[in-house]
Amino acid sequence: MKVAFLVAPEGVEQVELTSPWQAVQDAGGTPRLVSTRGGQVQAFNHLDRADTFPVDQTVAEATAGEYDALVLPGGVANPDFLRTDRGAVDFVREMCRAGRPVAVICHGPWTLVEADVVRGRTLTSWPSLQTDIRNAGGNWVDQEVALCREGPAVFVSSRKPADLPAFNRAMLEQFSRVAA
């Protein structure tokens, strides 16, 4: 199972990157850090700088065909940067159209909104995104994990770092179905 973790050069919420990453590794998968630029990405603990992580591949080099699944971590700045990058938005759209499962947490759904893939889909997120999701034609719910199978790509979504244990379990369950 090869999983793309798509993040901007800075602004990703560190625990929303590292916890699912470790879960994928522990399940025997291969996580790969994909970003809009090469080099390193700067993670954050809310608004404070945290660790940096090496980029494995730029989004310009990545294709949906080489990945089994996609993770979109949150952090306020991370998805805000991603949704303004045409390559990142196109990659997300390509992954969804290819039927790859997508796990998204916190503010991560902003990139899905920009890719125009939430219409008719049920998601949860950080509460401040509910209007954006609804305006994009999605159904927003306030729950620990939302699972949506209404499109070509299964969506697993969660609201916040406290939801990570349930998010990781649901994510791995959906990802293992594709890799089987």
* Token reading at 134: 């609804």
Concerning whether 96 is annotated as a catalytic residue, the answer is no
- CA 74 remoteness from chain centre: 7
User: What is the DSSP annotation of the chain?
Assistant: -EEEEEE-SEEEEHHHHHHHHHHHHHTT-EEEEEESSSSEEEEEETTEEEEEEE-SEETTT--GGG-SEEEE---SHHHHHHTT-HHHHHHHHHHHHTT--EEEETTTHHHHHHTT--TT-EE---GGGHHHHHHTT-EE--SSEEEE-SSSS-EEEESSGGGHHHHHHHHHHHHHHHH-
Query: Which of 59, 105, 106, 129 does the annotation list as catalytic?
Result: 106
The catalytic residue positions are 106
